[in-house]
Chains A and B, each alone.
Chain A
Amino acid sequence: MRLPVFAHTGPRDWIRFLAVAAVVLALPLVLHDPFFILVLQSLAYLFIVSLGLDILVGWTGQISLGHAGLYAIGAYTSALLATRAGWPFWISAPAGVALAGAAGALLAIPSLRAKGPYLAMVTLAFGFMMEVTSNRWQGLTNGPMGISGIPAPTLLDGEEMTPTQYFWLIAGVALLCQLLVNNLLGSRVGRTLLALRGSEIAAQTVGVNVYRWKVLAFVISSVYAGLGGVFFAHQNGFINSDTFVFALSVSFLTSVLMGGSGTLYGPLAGSVILNLIPTVFARLHEYHLYIYGGIILVTIIFLPDGIVGSLRKLTLMRRWRRMPARIEPEAGALAFPSAHAAGEAMIQARNLTRDFGGIRALNRVNITVRPGVVHGLIGPNGSGKSTLVNVLTGLYPPSSGEVVMQGKAMGRMRPYQMAKLGVTRTFQSIRLFGELSVLDHVMVGYHLHLRAGFWPHLLQTASAVEEEQLFRRKAMALLQFVGIAERAHESARNLPYGQQRLLEIARALALQPRLLLLDEPAAGVNPTEIQRLAKIIRDIRDAGVTQVVIEHHMELIMGISDVVSVLDFGEKIAEGTTVEVQRDPKVIEAYLGTGLEAAHA
């Protein structure tokens, strides 16, 4: 079980990081052998690529079988600009990195919705396209003949760097890359990526724009791959198409998995070990591929968590586990200033119809939810309640009809756009963010309220850190409100069912919604917890938040609802106060079937 620690870089992390940095940078002073320094250079830039790849694999759950293509873009761009246009390294290198990043942004487009093997195909196809380009577009790349005479970077005085100096440059950049990854992934960015990995749909309902975050992950990953390619080109002085092949992509991926994907230092361990193997087994080169293939197999089969992942499992046992500091709940976290809305209707369904293939799940449904009420939604199984909620929150587009929010027709809105308008929800089948802690679930809920973005978190500015702490206290208050504060630091996955439902409510409340839709909040919840749930729903109403509640638990729904709408076979058959609805013959018929007299008639 992997629980990411989003406690910020404390002094202990700094000491550990600086110690590693000192050792790495001192290596060429101890070992003067030129061959060894060359190996060190290679290890450093290959590590950068693995580190970037892990952002995709370990943090967003995307696989890449085409990283060699991005590496190629960095290498060729810088090499061509340096040899043909005569650009100095310090300009050609950033150009190569930038182009690789741009390619990554493009690559994110087909990756957005593709899953499983389809997703694997995206990067695979890209890698092969680059392989073919480098091999066949001879006018540009010179194919297998390659590009030679790529200059080493120069120092300020115009002298070319010595191999040791070049190693310091690469290693310095590599260390910086690691530091930035630690900052990013240890902060809001990593948390959001893991949330997406856990459930894209749930992340959207608290306002996460899935596409933008996937592009971000792809771009960072590609920038790192491009950086590796640039350093490679200027190390060798010569590049040709033999390098940028599928096998290289496989080796990048293997190094990540071997070290442990989703761990901060896995890529370091994996890339160093994997890339040292050819050097170690140089004399057995005839069997090199057997060894290599065997190592991949053994790693995948026996070390599914990788080296660092497995070690962490051991050390996590007791001693090294950091006890999270106690967080004092912030007062006033339950005030929703934007919630109290004037007007006749919070949200309206107008003639809403939704078809799935030949099945009409909703048929011209008209419902008006007034502001500040608890609006119950009941009906037998399959009557279209969840579909209605899905259409209202933008998860499914309506087949016809429209959703109107405070007098404005919504058109085609995505869930994250509805979230921006203050509409969020919970799920009938619970959707949690994988292994994130309970507290971090609520933190993701605050997505739209956190101001510090990519750069402040990258640099861990004081304001970013302060904001994070403030919202932790707020999140704690929400957990206290729903009654699960004492489990804040546990993995949400380990909570009992009823508490997971409460957590979903807390996560949704973090959005500070105007309209909250609860899809069967009492399903699988025990009777005592239902009492608490009823109180929570009333308290949320008193805070001014409008709620739509789907529920089969009649006692609960009749106890909390101001208005109840009844659906049957996709149509609204009744609406009114709880008393009116309970007396309605159509409702009784829908639930109990036709009466005996009617059946005999």
Chain B
Amino acid sequence: MLVKLWQALLSGLSVGSVYALIAQGYYVTFITTGALNFGQGEFLMIGALFGLTCYVTLGAPYAIAVAASIALLSVMGAGLERVAIRTTLRHALSLSWVLSTVAVSIIVRNAAVQIWGPEQIKFPSPFGDRVLHIGPAGIFPQELFIIFGAIGTVVLVQFFLRRAVLGKALTAVAYNRNAAAVMGINVQRMVVLAFVLSSALAGLGGVLIAPITFAWAYMGTVPGIKAFAAAIIGGLENPIGILIGGLAVGVLEQIFGIINSNLKEGITFLFVLLILAVRPTGLMGRKEIEKV
């Protein structure tokens, strides 16, 4: 039993760090615009499939495939902002962006089916399939790479937001849009940047995770939604909360997977409902006091 738990913890951390990576993308756009991309999972899928094309079909090195996916998704992020976000953000129904980003995701998924077909495609890991042993549990090198790659990226993103001039400008927009504009920051450009960054993270997540799942057109939806759940559990405005939420969801699923594989699929959603009933802004979110 203990071995199983240890194994679940390791696998959970690797899946969870991908959730955390995607969720970090939700965080970046949420703080700047109050909106997020409901098709983040589809963007992850494009990252995986495009990476596959570069790595397998074209024979490029894995690093180049990763870079290419990130580049493609950055462009798609800018496009998404233009088509689905800028057009709907001022609507009376405050959640119009939910449907507009879902619509984009439907179109993107259909395109992926036409380009890559509906089948699951194996994405060979650049690190081979030899199982490493950490204590009594086994882990693929790719899984280790995911953990370090994803968490490292999350840290880098935070570093960027807090230290780099461009990142600080983005954070300033997040704190106070109008004040940032008065200070000469191009708010619109920062919003685009936020969506570029968010989409790039999804693309990276895709190439990272594909070797341990499969790459196919329908791979993205569920991780995208679970990453959203992770962000909500942690608290959308709290980057640390999101990281912990992502890892927790990954581990939680694996642990419940020991008991019952069906339970594994549903537990995250049950968990998020229970948490929201008690804490409406997530475990580590800011508690809103409405000023009167």
Residues of B231-251 at the interface with A, using a CB-CB cut-off of 8 Å, are: 232, 236
Instruction: Kindly specify which of B103-111, B119-127, B140-148, B170-178 makes contact with the partner chain.
Output: B103-111
Q: What are the residues of chain B within 8 A of A356 when measuring CB–CB?
A: 289
Residues of A277-298 at the interface with B, using a CB-CB cut-off of 8 Å, are: 286-287, 289-290, 292-294, 296-297
Closest-CB distance, B238 to chain A (whole angstroms)? 13
Given contacts A121-B232, A304-B92, contact A254 B107 (CB under 8 A): no
How far, in whole Å, are A261 and B88 apart by their CA atoms in the complex?
A: 16
Are B266 and A301 closer than 8 Å at their CB atoms?
no
How far, in whole Å, are A523 and B102 apart by their CA atoms in the complex?
A: 45
Are B110 and A289 closer than 8 Å at their CB atoms?
yes
Instruction: Kindly specify which of A129-137, A319-327, A528-536, A582-590 makes contact with the partner chain.
Output: A129-137
Residues of A239-260 at the interface with B, using a CB-CB cut-off of 8 Å, are: 246-247, 250, 253-254, 257
A274 within 8 A of B: no
Nearest CB to that of B272 among chain A residues? A125
Residues of A196-221 at the interface with B, using a CB-CB cut-off of 8 Å, are: 201
A358 within 8 A of B: no
Question: Could you say which of A126, A129, A257 contacts B93, with CB atoms under 8 Å apart?
Answer: A257
Q: What are the residues of chain A within 8 A of B277 when measuring CB–CB?
A: 109-110
Question: Could you say which of B99, B228, B268, B288 contacts A250, with CB atoms under 8 Å apart?
Answer: B99
Question: Could you say which of A118, A132, A133 contacts B276, with CB atoms under 8 Å apart?
Answer: A118
Nearest CB to that of B232 among chain A residues? A121
B57 within 8 A of A: no
Question: Could you say which of B34, B87, B266 contacts A129, with CB atoms under 8 Å apart?
Answer: B266
Question: Could you say which of B99, B232, B265 contacts A118, with CB atoms under 8 Å apart?
Answer: B232
Are B102 and A250 closer than 8 Å at their CB atoms?
yes
Closest-CB distance, A245 to chain B (whole angstroms)? 9
Given contacts A250-B102, A300-B96, contact A121 B229 (CB under 8 A): yes
Nearest CB to that of A121 among chain B residues? B232
Q: Size range of the interface on B? A: 35 or more
Question: Could you say which of B103, B107, B236, B266 contacts A117, with CB atoms under 8 Å apart?
Answer: B236
Interface digits, A106-134 against B, CB 8 Å rule (1 contact, 0 not)?
A: 00011011111110111011101100110
Q: What are the residues of chain A within 8 A of B87 when measuring CB–CB?
A: 300-301
Given contacts A117-B232, A289-B110, contact A128 B103 (CB under 8 A): no
Closest-CB distance, A351 to chain B (whole angstroms)? 22
Are B93 and A57 closer than 8 Å at their CB atoms?
yes
A386 within 8 A of B: yes
Question: Could you say which of A57, A114, A133, A137 contacts B280, with CB atoms under 8 Å apart?
Answer: A114
Question: Could you say which of B93, B99, B104, B289 contacts A254, with CB atoms under 8 Å apart?
Answer: B99
Q: What are the residues of chain A within 8 A of B100 when measuring CB–CB?
A: 296-297, 300-301
Are A132 and B280 closer than 8 Å at their CB atoms?
no
Interface digits, B253-292 against A, CB 8 Å rule (1 contact, 0 not)?
A: 0000000001001101110111011001110010011101
Prevailing SS type, chain B contact patch: helix
Given contacts A128-B225, A300-B88, contact A293 B110 (CB under 8 A): yes
Nearest CB to that of B270 among chain A residues? A129
Q: What are the residues of chain B within 8 A of A121 when measuring CB–CB?
A: 228-229, 232, 272, 276
B166 within 8 A of A: no
Q: What are the residues of chain B within 8 A of A292 when measuring CB–CB?
A: 106
Are A293 and B104 closer than 8 Å at their CB atoms?
yes
Closest-CB distance, A521 to chain B (whole angstroms)? 15
Given contacts A117-B232, A289-B107, A300-B103, contact A132 B266 (CB under 8 A): yes
Q: What are the residues of chain A within 8 A of B272 when measuring CB–CB?
A: 121, 125
Q: What are the residues of chain A within 8 A of B102 when measuring CB–CB?
A: 250, 296
A65 within 8 A of B: yes
Are B292 and A429 closer than 8 Å at their CB atoms?
yes
**How many chain A residues touch the partner (CB < 8 A)?**
53
Are A297 and B103 closer than 8 Å at their CB atoms?
yes
Are B225 and A136 closer than 8 Å at their CB atoms?
no
Closest-CB distance, B41 to chain A (whole angstroms)? 11
How far, in whole Å, are A566 and B274 apart by their CA atoms in the complex?
A: 45
Question: Could you say which of B106, B109, B225, B274 contacts A296, with CB atoms under 8 Å apart?
Answer: B106
Q: What are the residues of chain B within 8 A of A429 when measuring CB–CB?
A: 292
Are B103 and A293 closer than 8 Å at their CB atoms?
yes
A428 within 8 A of B: yes
Q: What are the residues of chain B within 8 A of A287 when measuring CB–CB?
A: 110
Q: What are the residues of chain A within 8 A of B289 when measuring CB–CB?
A: 356, 396
Question: Could you say which of B273, B285, B288, B290 contacts A122, with CB atoms under 8 Å apart?
Answer: B273
Are A116 and B95 closer than 8 Å at their CB atoms?
yes
Question: Could you say which of A65, A124, A129, A297 contacts B104, with CB atoms under 8 Å apart?
Answer: A297
Are B83 and A122 closer than 8 Å at their CB atoms?
no
A395 within 8 A of B: yes
A427 within 8 A of B: yes
Q: What are the residues of chain B within 8 A of A65 when measuring CB–CB?
A: 98
A63 within 8 A of B: yes
Are A297 and B282 closer than 8 Å at their CB atoms?
no
Question: Could you say which of A117, A126, A201, A246 contacts B30, with CB atoms under 8 Å apart?
Answer: A117
B189 within 8 A of A: no
Q: What are the residues of chain A within 8 A of B105 when measuring CB–CB?
A: 293
How far, in whole Å, are A490 and B229 apart by their CA atoms in the complex?
A: 43
Q: What are the residues of chain B within 8 A of A110 when measuring CB–CB?
A: 273-274, 276-277, 280
B221 within 8 A of A: yes
A182 within 8 A of B: no
How far, in whole Å, are A153 and B95 apart by their CA atoms in the complex?
A: 39
How far, in whole Å, are A466 and B224 apart by their CA atoms in the complex?
A: 53
B84 within 8 A of A: yes
Q: What are the residues of chain B within 8 A of A428 when measuring CB–CB?
A: 292
Q: What are the residues of chain A within 8 A of B88 when measuring CB–CB?
A: 300-301, 304
Are B280 and A129 closer than 8 Å at their CB atoms?
no
Q: What are the residues of chain B within 8 A of A129 when measuring CB–CB?
A: 266, 269-270, 273
How far, in whole Å, are A261 and B229 apart by their CA atoms in the complex?
A: 27
Closest-CB distance, B116 to chain A (whole angstroms)? 15
A390 within 8 A of B: yes
How far, in whole Å, are A122 and B88 apart by their CA atoms in the complex?
A: 22
How far, in whole Å, are A286 and B100 apart by their CA atoms in the complex?
A: 21
B residues engaging A (CB < 8 A)? 30, 34, 36, 83-84, 87-88, 91-96, 98-100, 102-107, 109-111, 114, 221, 225, 228-229, 232, 236, 262, 265-266, 268-270, 272-274, 276-277, 280-282, 285, 288-290, 292
* 9 A-B pairs closest in CB distance: A296-B103, A113-B280, A136-B262, A293-B106, A293-B107, A289-B110, A125-B269, A110-B277, A110-B276
19 more A-B residue pairs beyond the given contacts A117-B36, A246-B225, A396-B289, with a C-beta to C-beta distance below 8 A: A63-B98, A116-B34, A121-B272, A122-B273, A125-B273, A126-B269, A129-B273, A132-B269, A201-B290, A247-B106, A250-B102, A257-B96, A289-B109, A296-B103, A300-B100, A301-B100, A304-B88, A390-B292, A427-B292
